[in-house]
């Protein structure tokens, strides 16, 4: 490695930092930063809403199961076998 390499690298780093500072101070960069911040906020709101929808879907599913169970015809109660009657006794003659 030539001896001047570290000096070149430090100069490039300094120039890069200066360029980033100039870019960051432009109105376009500020608009971009504002847009990204707004995007993050909208994504957070969307995530909250989606989690709310998932909870609603689960509740609807549970309610559908309950309605389906209520719609089934009730099974009639098992009938007890009729008690056998003793044959009537014939009067004695």
- Decide if pLDDT at 25 tops 90: no
Summarize pLDDT for 33-50 with one digit per residue, the tens.
899 999 999 999 999 888
What per-residue confidence (pLDDT) applies to 65? 94
- The Cα 45–Cα 31 span in angstroms is 21
Summarize pLDDT for 51-91 with one digit per residue, the tens.
888 889 999 999 999 999 998 776 666 666 666 666 666 66
At residue 11 the predicted structure's pLDDT band, cuts being 50, 70 and 90, is confident
Q: Which residue has the higher pLDDT, 7 or 77?
A: 7
């Amino acid at each position: 490695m030539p001896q001047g390499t570290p000096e070149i690298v430090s100069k490039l780093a300094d120039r890069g930092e200066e360029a980033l500072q100039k870019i960051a101070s432009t109105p376009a960069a500020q608009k971009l930063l504002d847009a990204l911040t707004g995007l993050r906020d909208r994504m957070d709101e969307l995530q909250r809403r989606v989690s709310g929808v998932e909870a609603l879907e689960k509740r609807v599913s549970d309610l559908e199961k309950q309605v389906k169970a209520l719609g089934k015809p009730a099974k009639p109660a098992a009938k007890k076998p009729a008690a056998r009657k003793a044959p009537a006794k014939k009067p004695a003659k």
